[in-house]
Amino acid sequence: MVESVHSRAFTLIEMLVVLVIAGLFLALAVAIVQPDDKGRLRVEAERLAQLFDVASTESRLTGKTIGWTADAGGYRFWRLWEESRWRQIGDDETLRARALPDGMTITGVRVENVSADSAARLEFAAYGAALSFVVEMSMGPARYAVLGSPVGEVRVVAREGPAGAETAQR
């Protein structure tokens, strides 16, 4: 018995179907690896919220106040040392300075419901009550806010529209 050549070869239609399926998987993988602006902003807002949690915990454990400042390109954490001098936290630590991804900005900071200027420092005190704060971030049309409560809870909310309605919570 001799098999025909036709039964062992792929047809053009079969090859095209395989290529289309492979292309769809590749497109899905790229979409997962490179999230949209809203996804990237959400990840960065979650990172900042977790860093605020770390700063608050470290401050209470070490007895040293930790501060946070932001500028156009990123943010950094500071430690309060003797004689009321602030020292930037080093690059080898969890609370090192970080640059924001291109197109992402910190659009506003409010502490105790008062808008802060660009030189303001958010402080995580070693003793006493935590401060209430809001750090707003945007990238394109996407907007998120990192909210801190007086009881030390930090959460991330999505903002929509000019009024900044809260729509999602961590």
Helices (H), 63-166: none
Paired sense of beta strands 74-80 and 86-88, if any: antiparallel
Residue with tokens 């801190």: 148
How many other CB atoms are found less than 10 A from the CB of residue 159? 20
pLDDT > 90: percent of the chain: 38
- Count other C-beta atoms under 10 Å from residue 34's C-beta: 9
Q: Does domain 38-166 have CATH number 3.55.40.10?
A: yes
Give the start-to-end residue ranges of the domains of the chain.
Answer: 38-166
Output helix, strand, coil percentages for the chain, rounded to the nearest 5.
30, 30, 35
pLDDT in tens, 109-151: 998 878 776 667 889 988 887 889 999 999 989 999 999 998 8
Return d(Cα 97, Cα 95) in angstroms, integer.
Answer: 7
For 116-145, give one letter per residue: b (16+ CB within 10 A) or e.
Answer: beeebbbbbbbeeebbebbbbbbbeebbbb
pLDDT in tens, 52-80: 999 999 998 988 999 999 988 899 999 99
Across 1-11, average pLDDT? 62
- Over 80: is that where the pLDDT of 23 sits? yes
Q: Which of 66, 76, 49, 52 shows the shortest CA–CA distance to 126? A: 66
- Residue type, position 14, single letter: E
- The pLDDT, as a whole number, for residue 154 is 92
